[in-house]
């Protein structure tokens, strides 16, 4: 019952979920799986097997006697999706705006590459690079503004998905800012040749 996969049934309300598990799976890991399937937050779940409440933690399914074909009852109220919450909508709005700024960055990069590979008349390069540098500065400022807006959103403890979405967006913005900085340095090096 250790490393072999077997099927168990999770019952929550009227819904049933057949799940493939291993005996080495901990109750904490099972609790996370249950959260994904039922939308009952792991910290508000009660997992019952053969009339006994299983306490979450590092105990494995095998040590709790949960074997092939076992039925577990899950008690707990479904978590209201915060997809409709004001905070989640605010994060989505910033994400949408961030995508537009990213497009501006992606539009500028090929122009810089074209200049560095000599596809433009050398007499026009200085002016074009100065213009591109200003564009990238504006892009960087917009990314900074988005980070400040994300930082200003006050999340409730239950806004788990909104927090995760914000965290992912902050990471993405930071990566885009690094890319923007690299392009800015590239432009500054190219400007030395044309001024």
> What angle, 0 to 180 degrees and rounded to 10, lies between the N-to-C axes of helices 86-116 and 122-151?
160
> Does residue 84 have a pLDDT over 60?
no
* Domains 6-75 and 82-194 equal at CATH topology level: no
Q: Are 109 and 48 in contact (CB under 8 A)?
A: no
Which of 88-92, 112-116, 131-135 has the weakest average pLDDT?
88-92
What is the model's pTM? 0.57
How confident is the model at residue 195, as a pLDDT? 67
The predicted-structure confidence for 119-163, as pLDDT tens digits, reads as follows: 888 888 889 999 999 999 999 999 999 999 999 988 777 777 888
Length of the chain in residues, anyone? 195
Contact 129, 191 (CB under 8 A): yes
Highest CATH level, class, for 82-194: mainly alpha
Tell me, rounded to whole angstroms, the distance of Cα 46 from its chain centroid: 28
**Nearest residue to 130 (alpha-carbon basis) of 103, 108, 102, 97:** 108
For residue 2, the model assigns a pLDDT of: 54
Token pair of 127 as six digits: 């002016």
pLDDT band at 79 (very low <50, low <70, confident <90, very high): low
Domain 6-75 grouped into CATH 3.10.20.90: yes
In contact, 24 and 60? CB cutoff 8 Å: yes
User: What average pLDDT is seen over the chain?
Assistant: 86
Euclidean distance between CA atoms 21 and 68, whole angstroms: 9
- Enumerate the domain spans of the chain: 6-75, 82-194
Which pLDDT tens digit goes with each residue over 167-193?
A: 999 999 999 999 999 999 999 999 988
């Amino acid at each position: 019952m250790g490393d072999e996969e077997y099927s168990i049934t999770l019952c929550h309300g009227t819904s049933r979920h057949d799940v493939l598990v291993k005996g080495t799976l901990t109750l904490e890991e099972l609790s996370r799986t249950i959260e994904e399937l039922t939308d009952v937050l792991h910290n508000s779940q009660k997992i019952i097997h053969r009339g006994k409440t299983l306490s979450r933690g590092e105990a494995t399914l095998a040590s709790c006697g949960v074997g092939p074909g076992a039925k577990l009852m899950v008690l707990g109220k479904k978590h209201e999706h915060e997809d409709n919450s004001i905070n989640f909508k605010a994060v989505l709005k910033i994400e949408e705006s961030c995508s537009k700024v990213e497009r501006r960055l992606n539009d500028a990069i090929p122009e810089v590459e074209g200049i560095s590979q000599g596809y433009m008349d050398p007499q026009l390069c200085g002016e074009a690079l100065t213009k591109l540098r200003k564009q990238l500065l504006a892009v960087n400022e917009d990314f900074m503004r988005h980070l400040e807006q994300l930082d200003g959103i006050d999340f409730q403890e239950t806004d788990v998905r909104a927090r995760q979405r914000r965290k992912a967006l902050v990471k993405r913005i930071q990566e885009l800012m690094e890319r923007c900085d690299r392009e800015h340095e590239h432009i500054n090096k190219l400007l030395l040749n044309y001024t």
